[in-house]
Structure 1
Amino acid sequence: MLISKHLFYLSGDQLCAYLWQGGRLSGGELFSNDHAGVERFLDYVDSHGVLPAYLLADLIEEDFQRVQLPHVGGAGGRKLLQRRLLQQYRETPYRHAEVQGRESGGRRDDIVLLAALTNVAAVQPWVRALEQLKMPLAGLYTTTLLSAELLRKLGLRDEHLLLITQHSAGWRQSYFQHGQLKFSRLTPAIDRDNRPIDIGAETAKTQQFLNSVRLLGRGAVLHAVVLAPAAATAALSAQCANGPETAFRFIALRAAANAMGLRSDDSAVAELGARVAEPMLLAQLGRQAPAGHYALGAMRRYYLLWRTRLTLYVASAALGLCSLVWLGANLWQTQTADAASARLLAEAGQYDQRYRAVMAAMPPRVTSTANMRAAVNVERMLATQAPSPLDMVAMVSAALEQSPQIRLLQLDWKVSLPGAVPAAGQDETQAVPISSLLAGIPGRPPQALLVEAEIVADQDDYRGAVDSMNHFAQQLARQPHLTVAIDKPPLDTRSSVKLSGKAGPATVEARAKFSLNLVWNP
């Protein structure tokens, strides 16, 4: 990340402060582990403003224990792990647990590595100083757990690997089995007689301990990789002789720093990186910091507040950027719409000009364009909605197809309009205004049709004539919205009418005639 950071390297007797800016490590100011050094440290941190802080501890008082716990998942497993960690290290709040796999047989218990910084007094003064300044302390880390990244970057994949690195605090020996940390110890670089320690002898002690705790089996070869300055390789090689169960390999710190991608703007830091290993670990911490190794509890609250504030700033910037993009898109759409509107207006002006030119070349009009348009609309309305006898004639024709003995004599069609009376104060001699229903406004009016017909049948068969008329009337009544009423039957049996007839050959005058009143409401 491009965010500037405070990187602090803590050893037993001092703290070294670095700055991580623009992907480069700089600084390296030392502060002694006493009251005066802490006061100078407060002034130093306060002068650089509020930056997230990362504390890397490299202490002799770092303990590692391997235990087996029942395999329990979820929240219950986490509680079991924390309870076991608290039982192992009650005197320190800086504890860490890491599940490294499961046993191959039996209950298949979890294999857990427990770690803790047992010297609380070496850490708390610096943590409290950062809390006093309300600095965002991101996490407390250890060089031992960060060294696992060195294996990957340097391509070290031996089954039994002892990584020996030189730090400002001394020589760190970390044992890895299949790439997983199992044990680590820190020894001073100078012994009590003020002489450099023998790396070969210390390696033999570590190998003997690993054999005693059954981490390293008899006959297994321990590959010891020594990260040391190139100038000291010859002297160290004389101390480290290969044996049947020990194989030494030397890697120069400068080459390891290049493999880790360490860059520095400070020549002092570059020189320090050629002598000790912590600049590589600090660069790794500044480039991509993992979650804190040792829990800080409430000491981490200012970092959480700082991260929340940074998240809000980023969200606000993203929202502002989205708003600018949205505004730009709207402005572009507005310009596009304005251009399209101007183009349409220009086209409309051209059409109006062409229309006026065409109209100017035409002869004088009888009436206005609006009147002509209204006349056309009225004509179309009359053609579609005005009443016409064709519809009712078609109904009668369809009924005659089903009644061949019926012969049509006469049709009388008319439109049934509501009674029109003169308006109040109007001269009765004046004509009553024509109803708009004749034009089909607002709908087609009711229509009436008087049908006069005769029945071609045998003489004196009045029952057959009546049946023929009824069948014809039923065929007409099946038409929708059509009402059929018998006006005059072929045989009038009313009491007020004289019943008469003639016997003999049938004549035209003697044929049975009838009339029907049809009313259609479209």
Structure 2
Amino acid sequence: MLAKQLFYLTSDQLHAWQWQRNTLFGPHIFPATRAGLNDFLAYLDRHGNRPGYLLTDLIEEDYTRLLLPHVRGRAGRKLRERRLVQHYRDTPYRAALVQGRSVEGRRDDEVLFTALTNPLLLTPWVDAMELMQTPLAGVYSCAMLGRDVLHRLAMRHRHVLLASWHTAGLRQTYFLRGAVKFSRLVQATPEEAQLHAVATQTARTQQFLGSVRLLARGDVLHVLVLAAPDQVERLAAECTNTAETIYHIVPLDTAATALHVGGAAQGVAAHVAEPTLLAMLARNPPASHYPTGAAGNYYRLLQARLSLYASSAVLATAGVVWSILNLASYTLAHGSAEGFRSETAHYRANYDRSMSSMPPAADKTANMRAAVSIDRTVARQGPWPVAMMRMVSGALEQSPQVRISRLDWRADVPGAPSGPIVGGAGGASGASGTAGTPALAAPTSSLALGIPKSPPQKLRVEAEVLSARNDYRKVLGEMNVFAQRLASIPNVTVEIVQLPFDIRPTQKLSGTVGAPTAGQEQNKFTLDLTWTP
């Protein structure tokens, strides 16, 4: 934890403490005089870079309770700020605390306005901190720090009065449902304050709370007294419980243990409560109770500097970790590469030994690899009739009334003869050669081998419909269904070359219906299929 400076301010003096290694050291006392202020400047010059926390314990601390319309957001903050300036226009140390909503009427916000009404008591000390560039983290009030004391001591009663002795005197703070509503300071020295009867001061405060309607008739007020260990027995004898007042006397060392600051204020005065409050403030500092003004700019600069240091440390750590991981990866990769090199050398040596016993190769390895690649390309993209035969076979399975009588297939290669490749007869020798002399073969396009892509292919299908010869409508329907099934195949176009019978209007009808016609093939048709892969 960072070292801190803690300042306890009363009306006539300032106590300076140092917080180091979770321990409170001090105090250095500076009276509210010119000499005391000069000594304070010298003190800040020695410890000026440490953040400071100013705890005020002044009699000029005012509390006002108001009901304001329930407004949220920025508009609500502006409304409270305007009303706060109207109430305390002569001091910059003012704050508005929203403490819930009223249970009656339109449920307005219950707002507590508090301020240090005499800023001249703080101005010299705060100006000295600003002059020495001391980071002022916040200005705090002993009364409002009592909320944490009640929470840690488990005082969850509805009406609680916290009484404690300080250097400035006896401080009494009233809490309603855990929220501070009123505080008063009986100004006296610690010795004089302890002589004042707590019961007498509690009765006066209880009477005042009843007059301002904070306490109703029959309400029980629980009084929590933080006292020096040697005063507990005397206070227990003087403070007797009544029907409306119940006392809870807690020794300061027991309270320090409950506040998790036991042992933090070693060697300091044990008869006043401000060391315990200062240790609690140093260990878990809340947000500033009052604005710090220009003196707080150095603390904000310190926070920005610490944030930059923290970010730099995180980036440096990430860089170191990243570098270590990269070095580890490089080491692993280097080791793997060495292993691969040795393995490659081993396989290359075995290959060289195997090749040394073989006869010389007919061609280079690169040419052989290219030949294998061309062979695989031709086998995959070459113009083979198997694909179109598979298409026709699939259509025949769905058309059992159709029977194939002849198939003529050819690949449509530019420059190739138009005759069929499969199903047709070969031609004679070329005319360019003489008798007994072989003719020169024309160069073949690479498309004939499927390089770089498979060429278009054509298939002529001659088939007939196996049905009654005189049922012309059924014959024509079976042919159309067969042709449509072939045409539904992707990239396939179908052309009807010959119908089973001539139905053109220009032809003359002849013969007898139902009588066979000699020399004429009935129910036969011809289709041309074109497939573009």
What is the alpha-carbon distance in structure 2 between the residues aligned to residue 54 and residue 451 of structure 1? 103
What is the alpha-carbon distance in structure 2 between the residues aligned to residue 290 and residue 279 of structure 1? 17
Does the 8 Å contact 1:387/1:415 carry over to 2?
no
The verdict on how the C-alpha distance between 1:184 and 1:389 changes in structure 2, with shifts beyond 3 A counting, is: closer
What is the alpha-carbon distance in structure 2 between the residues aligned to residue 87 and residue 155 of structure 1? 37
SS at match of 2:266: helix
Task: State the shift of 1:41 in Å.
Answer: 0.7
The verdict on how the C-alpha distance between 1:449 and 1:174 changes in structure 2, with shifts beyond 3 A counting, is: closer
Q: Which residue of 2 aligns with 1:355?
A: 351
Is 1:320 matched up with 2:316?
A: yes
Does the 8 Å contact 1:160/1:175 carry over to 2?
yes
Task: State the shift of 1:197 in Å.
Answer: 2.4
The one of 276, 280, 287 aligned to 2:276:
280
The verdict on how the C-alpha distance between 1:41 and 1:402 changes in structure 2, with shifts beyond 3 A counting, is: same
Q: Which residue of 1 aligns with 2:300?
A: 304
Is 1:160 matched up with 2:159?
A: yes
SS at match of 1:225: strand
- Mapping 1:20-419, distance limit 5 Å: 20-190=19-189, 196-262=195-261, 269-360=265-356, 362=358, 365=361, 367-380=363-376, 383=379, 418=415
Task: State the shift of 1:261 in Å.
Answer: 1.9
Tell me which moved more, 112-121 or 371-380: 371-380
Does the 8 Å contact 1:17/1:30 carry over to 2?
yes
Instruction: Extract unaligned runs of 5+ from structure 2.
Output: 418-437, 463-478, 499-516
Deviations 1:256-311 (A, max 9, x none): 1122222557xxx5243521111111111111211111123333222222222222
For 1:128, give the aligned amino acid: D
SS at match of 1:83: helix
Task: State the shift of 1:249 in Å.
Answer: 2.9
Tell me which moved more, 42-51 or 433-442: 433-442
The verdict on how the C-alpha distance between 1:414 and 1:342 changes in structure 2, with shifts beyond 3 A counting, is: closer
Does the 8 Å contact 1:25/1:263 carry over to 2?
no
Tell me which moved more, 299-308 or 39-48: 299-308
- Mapping 1:438-517, distance limit 5 Å: 439-442=449-452
Does the 8 Å contact 2:62/2:114 carry over to 1?
yes
What is the alpha-carbon distance in structure 2 between the residues aligned to residue 292 and residue 482 of structure 1? 90
What is the number of residues matched between the two proteins? 476
Task: State the shift of 1:54 in Å.
Answer: 0.9
What is the alpha-carbon distance in structure 1 between the residues aligned to residue 520 and residue 529 of structure 2? 26
Instruction: Extract unaligned runs of 5+ from structure 1.
Output: 421-428, 453-470, 487-505
Deviations 1:102-161 (A, max 9, x none): 222222222222222122221111011111112221111010000111111122223322
Does the 8 Å contact 1:189/1:197 carry over to 2?
no
Does the 8 Å contact 2:6/2:55 carry over to 1?
yes
Deviations 1:194-242 (A, max 9, x none): 9932322222221221222222223333222221111122333444343
TM score, norm. by length of structure 1: 0.75
Does the 8 Å contact 1:7/1:19 carry over to 2?
yes
Tell me which moved more, 299-308 or 8-17: 299-308
SS at match of 1:272: coil
RMSD (Å) for aligned C-alpha atoms = 4.6
TM score, norm. by length of structure 2: 0.74
For 1:80, give the aligned amino acid: L
Task: State the shift of 1:246 in Å.
Answer: 2.6
Q: Which residue of 2 aligns with 1:426?
A: none
SS at match of 1:214: coil
SS at match of 1:67: strand
Does the 8 Å contact 1:273/1:280 carry over to 2?
no
The verdict on how the C-alpha distance between 1:303 and 1:419 changes in structure 2, with shifts beyond 3 A counting, is: same
For 2:305, give the aligned amino acid: R
The verdict on how the C-alpha distance between 1:373 and 1:192 changes in structure 2, with shifts beyond 3 A counting, is: closer
What is the alpha-carbon distance in structure 2 between the residues aligned to residue 413 and residue 348 of structure 1? 50
What is the alpha-carbon distance in structure 2 between the residues aligned to residue 305 and residue 225 of structure 1? 40
Task: State the shift of 1:445 in Å.
Answer: 6.8
The verdict on how the C-alpha distance between 1:363 and 1:63 changes in structure 2, with shifts beyond 3 A counting, is: same
SS at match of 1:326: helix
Task: State the shift of 1:441 in Å.
Answer: 4.5
The verdict on how the C-alpha distance between 1:32 and 1:444 changes in structure 2, with shifts beyond 3 A counting, is: closer
